[in-house]
Structure 1
Amino acid sequence: MDSRITVDPARVAALAAGARRTAILAELTVLDAASARPLRAVLAAQVGGAEPDPADLARLADLEAQAQALRTELAGLDEELS
């Protein structure tokens, strides 16, 4: 009886890419949730006729940059998986 384990590198790579895809989607959800407070503050300032707090604008820009990087990585993974 042959008890050797055969590893399919393509299958392992696909599983790793699928796991990373799931992690990216979770990270994007966290970033979306984190943007709610500064976005609400910016909108409240605009509705009130005031200038938004630069810290809120900077936070939103930072969160969007992080999300964009993840979306770019996700697009590459989706190409890899298809």
Structure 2
Amino acid sequence: MKKRIKLAALVSAFFMISSAYSAELPPSANITKAFADSAKRSILGEGGTFPVKVEAGYEVTNIFYNLNNVVFEYNMPTDS
């Protein structure tokens, strides 16, 4: 009897976890995409392309997003 209860608990836990990972992306992913798109428009304007030179010699090469982050890729000048 104990084995059946443990098996039932294991199976129900499996179904709960698998349904949680098969759900759609949360609304925060859409917000993150909007932030990334807004940053691109702010830096590039309407028709600009990467790379873009900014203050102090930095060069922004790309802006993208993942689930909860907006990522700015850039090249930093080095002193030699």
Q: Which has the larger radius of gyration?
A: 2
Taking structure 1 as the reference length, the TM-score comes to 0.38
Q: Which structure shows the bigger proportion of residues in strand conformation?
A: 2
Return the structure number with greater relative CO, CA threshold 8 A, min gap 6.
1
